[in-house]
Amino acid sequence: MRRIGWLLAALLLAGTASSPAFGVSQSELDEVERDKARMAAELEDASAEVRAAGDVLAETEARLPGAQHDVDVALGRVAAAETEAAQAAREADAARAALDAAVAEYEAAAALVEEAREARASLFNATARGAELLTVDAILASDEPAEAIDGLTYLEFLMDGKDQAVEEVTLARREAANAENTAAVAEAEAEAAEAAAAQALADAQARAAEAEAAQLAVQQLQADQEAALAVAEASRDEAQADYDALEAESERLADALRREDDNDDGGGDSGGGSSSGGGGGGWVVPVDGWKSSDFGWRMHPIFGYARLHGGTDFAASSGTTIHAVDSGKVVYAGWSSGYGKLTCISHGGGVTSCYAHQSSIWVDYGERVDRDEGIGAVGTTGDSTGPHLHFEVRVHGERVNPVGYLPSCLCR
């Protein structure tokens, strides 16, 4: 029956509202529809304003966990991006230092090349002028063997010096070329490292912006939730008055059914079953639908007081045929405040079944009906936010759990 348990409904919705739209099975889609019906059942006693607040609560409760998760993920990405940016900056600094060292090594190698060239310039000039040839002529013209030997020794020294000079210059040039290549590689690595550092910094800034946006989304959801809760709190007295009125109507109906029990002529068949709620009773399921709300006491999620939901709700499309769960006599057929269009059937032994929120009633007071006979159509009359059947079982006027009277599968 009527409730303003939007927060409870929101918790029911939280598991489905954040699911991705792709890859969803039909059973998951069906469960979403069931959750919507449960929420509708919880909102039956709410005003339009409170129902709107309930929608906000349902949405915020469904979205807040995901939004907070987004914040946590975004902050993690910020930390990772900042670490990466710092590492990239260190690598860029190291690459730049390596480049500076390579350039210095190249400059030193180039200086050695120049020094070797200058140091051997006179020897190269002398060779170019034919000094070696003159020396050979002098040696051949000498009459003294010792002088000739000394001259040949000098000539060998001169030739060795020339070869060494060439080797020194060649080696210096090679070392300079290697240093130049090293410097070029170091320069490319430094530029790449600096570019990576710049990209890492940009990524860190983007992650920070994402984290800020995610945090703002959470703050907006929390603000919406607080506003909706304020509306709900403001409706406390109204909601309690509505519930009290419905309970008064339920008691009036109980008195009427007890009077019918006293006047019962013995007609009607006992439906059997039990009120324990264990399932497996002998009645048929009253409508082709699915159970959307259970019988029992509920703790109000905001106000903290308990309320009895005195029947079992079955979600079904408007106009769906409602069936008598067992044969009996119609003891109520008409309007009943929050129940809307209501039919009650006595099955004997003080056991009565009642069918609320009908769009139309197909039987009359005092009429006898058969088991599984169509008695009306599903609707949303009275205090109802959507098409469904509110089904009650009463024993001597008192509400009991209907499930124990119905098949355990709750199927037709």
Furthest CA-CA distance within the chain: 168
pTM above 0.75? no
Kindly state whether residue 140 falls inside one of the protein's structural domains.
Answer: yes
pLDDT tens-place string over residues 60-112: 777 777 777 777 777 777 777 777 777 877 777 877 777 777 777 777 777 77
Domain boundary residue among 197, 212, 227?
212
pLDDT at position 12 over 90: no
Q: Quote the pLDDT of residue 340.
A: 93
Overall domain count for the chain:
2
Pair 270, 180 in one domain = no
Pair 167, 247 in one domain = no
Q: Report the CATH number at residue 268.
A: 2.70.70.10
CA dihedral (361, 366, 367, 371) positive or negative:
positive
CA distance 153 to 388: 124
Q: Quote the pLDDT of residue 398.
A: 93
Kindly state whether residue 24 falls inside one of the protein's structural domains.
Answer: no
Q: What is the CA radius of gyration of the chain?
A: 48
- Residues 175 and 109: beta-carbon distance below 8 Å: yes
Tokens matching residue 319: 């106009």
Kindly state whether residue 14 falls inside one of the protein's structural domains.
Answer: no
Pair 252, 400 in one domain = yes
Range of the domain at 347: 239-405
Kindly state whether residue 222 falls inside one of the protein's structural domains.
Answer: no
pLDDT at position 176 over 50: yes
Pair 272, 152 in one domain = no
Write out the H or E segment, with its range, that includes residue 74: helix 48-119
Tokens matching residue 196: 């990576």
Mean predicted confidence (pLDDT) in 350-367: 97
Kindly state whether residue 189 falls inside one of the protein's structural domains.
Answer: yes
CA distance 236 to 231: 9
Kindly state whether residue 60 falls inside one of the protein's structural domains.
Answer: no
Pair 199, 94 in one domain = yes
Mean predicted confidence (pLDDT) in 48-55: 65
pLDDT at position 401 over 80: yes
Task: Return the number of other C-beta atoms located less than 10 Å from residue 221's C-beta.
Answer: 20
CA distances from 361 to 268, 324, 355 (A): 20, 12, 10
Q: Report the CATH number at residue 183.
A: 1.10.287
- Residues 391 and 354: beta-carbon distance below 8 Å: yes
Mean predicted confidence (pLDDT) in 221-243: 75
